Amino acid sequence: MPHYNETQLAIRDAVRNMVDKEIRPIASEIDATERFPEELTEIFGDMGLMQLWVPEKYGGPGGDLTTLCLVKEEIARVSQACSMFAGQNSIAGILPLLHFGTEEQRQRILPEIAKGRTLTAVAITEPHAGSDVSSISTSAIRDGDSYVLNGQKVFITFGSVAHKILVFAKTGDIARRGIDNISCFLVDTRTPGFSAGKGDKKMGMNGIPNCPVYLDNVRVPAEDMIGEEGAGFIAAMRILDINRPTVAATAVGLAQGALDVSLEYMKERKQFGRLIAEFQGLQFMVADMAMQVEAARELTYECTRLVDSGQLDNIAKMSSMAKCFASDMAMKVTTDAVQIFGGYGYMKDYPVERMMRDAKILQIYEGTNQIQRIVIARHLLDL
């Protein structure tokens, strides 16, 4: 088991209690109805989970990546969708400001996020630009003290409910495929010209809204550009590297949850006059599941240890490994969990079918697992 300090363990225990009280009762309901559980914003905000990574000097709890991953893991054991809330503000608001923002921007924006009521989103993907971020075509044209943004983004998580969205757009030659002409802007979603489209119908992660967002002559003050003009791609990649272990932690939690319910079921279900727990075929299956979960957990928290101790040299490779390994593992473990439940596993009366559907997205978003393997191979081969 990775080593956690006392504060981290206390937060994990508090989150575990909160999950039993607030999330367990709604986990399958929000999946079935696709209801956005907006009440969680307040609950998470009061516990400091929306703003965990905001440093104390800006009024936040001053958490770190290890704590954030522990929180996401605990929530994902019961609901992968609800775990999306915790940490969402890290990728879209907190990390970009801490790593690329100016001190003026940090002082202006972070205290607001620290209050725990702000929800942020990140908008990179476009209809024709997914893995290939360099081919985005949303434009940001300088006009006096502001930039005017035009374009369309797709699949944006929390796109319809976020207060602020970190939008990536071309500031240089728009037609040119490239990474040195992309900039990022923290856009207030109340700005005229900004709109969210119809909610996406998804395989899983139901309850968390995804949608296209449209930018139609959205005027953004130049002071809301995060980082230097043209440095947005580098910023995005760096932030994703640091944040990616949170996807791995979600995968570990989801798989652990599937393993937990599988073990319970095996000790209840009888066939051939015996508990199915007594069948060696299934014993080997849960042994494999447990080994995979533990291996993914170790890799994930090795990454968080590196980030929290400022050892970022190898972080792109390590966090790609953690995200890829843990999400592939979660897909396998949740699929095995359905098998252990037999026909009941295929029914919505038990949580494992939801867990299997939810696992799939972890192999796709924040860089598909093919892209993660490319990153890992490039580091191995020095390409």
Ligand X SMILES: Cc1cc2nc3c(=O)[nH]c(=O)nc-3n(C[C@H](O)[C@H](O)[C@H](O)COP(=O)(O)OP(=O)(O)OC[C@H]3O[C@@H](n4cnc5c(N)ncnc54)[C@H](O)[C@@H]3O)c2cc1C
* One-letter identity of residue 247: V
Q: Is 80 in the site for ligand X (CB under 6 A)?
A: no
Nearer to ligand X, 227 or 345 (CB): 227
User: Residue 83 phi/psi, 5° resolution?
Assistant: -70, -15
Q: Cα 137 to the chain's mean position, in Å?
A: 24
CA distances for 185 relative to 128, 136, 166, 218, angstroms: 20, 15, 5, 11
Stretch that binds ligand X, among 18-26, 102-110, 154-162, 293-301 (CB under 6 A): 154-162
Using CB under 6 A, pick the residue from 28, 146, 157, 189 that binds ligand X: 157
Nearer to ligand X, 209 or 345 (CB): 209
Least Å distance, CB 132 to ligand X, is 6
Nearer to ligand X, 146 or 206 (CB): 206
Q: Is 40 in the site for ligand X (CB under 6 A)?
A: no
Nearer to ligand X, 25 or 127 (CB): 127
Nearer to ligand X, 107 or 131 (CB): 131
Least Å distance, CB 121 to ligand X, is 6
Please tell me the distance from the alpha carbon of residue 111 to that of residue 139, in angstroms, as a whole number: 30
DSSP state of 172: S
CA distances for 294 relative to 71, 156, 256, 326, 358, angstroms: 17, 31, 9, 10, 20
Binding-site size for ligand X (CB under 6 A) equals 21
CB-nearest residue to ligand X: 130
Least Å distance, CB 234 to ligand X, is 16
Residue 383, Cβ density class (10 Å: 0-12 exposed, 13-18 middle, ≥19 buried): exposed
Least Å distance, CB 364 to ligand X, is 5
Comparing C-alpha atoms, which of 110, 116, 113 is closest to residue 46?
Answer: 116
Q: Is 131 in the site for ligand X (CB under 6 A)?
A: yes
Least Å distance, CB 242 to ligand X, is 16
Residues with catalytic roles: 366
Show contacts with ligand X in window 334-373 (CB under 6 A). 361, 364-365, 367-368, 370-371
Nearer to ligand X, 236 or 306 (CB): 236
* One-letter identity of residue 64: D
* One-letter identity of residue 1: M
Comparing C-alpha atoms, which of 198, 123, 191 is closest to residue 157?
Answer: 123
Least Å distance, CB 314 to ligand X, is 22
H-state helical runs in 187-231: none
Q: Is 156 in the site for ligand X (CB under 6 A)?
A: yes
Comparing C-alpha atoms, which of 218, 230, 214 is closest to residue 143?
Answer: 218
Q: 215 - beta bridge partners?
A: 151, 194
Least Å distance, CB 203 to ligand X, is 8
CA distances for 290 relative to 93, 94, 265, 297, angstroms: 35, 34, 15, 11
Residue by residue, DSSP assigns 109-168 as: HHHHHHTT---EEEE--BTTBSS-GGG---EEEEETTEEEEEEEEEEEETTTT-SEEEEE
Nearer to ligand X, 47 or 68 (CB): 68
Show contacts with ligand X in window 191-210 (CB under 6 A). 202, 205, 210
Show contacts with ligand X in window 99-128 (CB under 6 A). 121-125
Q: Break the chain down into helix, strand, coil percent, rounded to 5.
A: 55, 15, 30
Least Å distance, CB 129 to ligand X, is 7
Q: 186 - beta bridge partners?
A: 166
Nearer to ligand X, 137 or 368 (CB): 368
Q: Is 376 in the site for ligand X (CB under 6 A)?
A: no
Stretch that binds ligand X, among 103-111, 149-157, 251-259, 275-283 (CB under 6 A): 149-157
x-or-dash pattern for ligand X, window 44-63, by CB under 6 A? Answer: --------------------
Which residues in this chain contact ligand X in the complex, by CB under 6 A?
Answer: 121-125, 130-131, 155-157, 202, 205, 210, 361, 364-365, 367-368, 370-371, 374
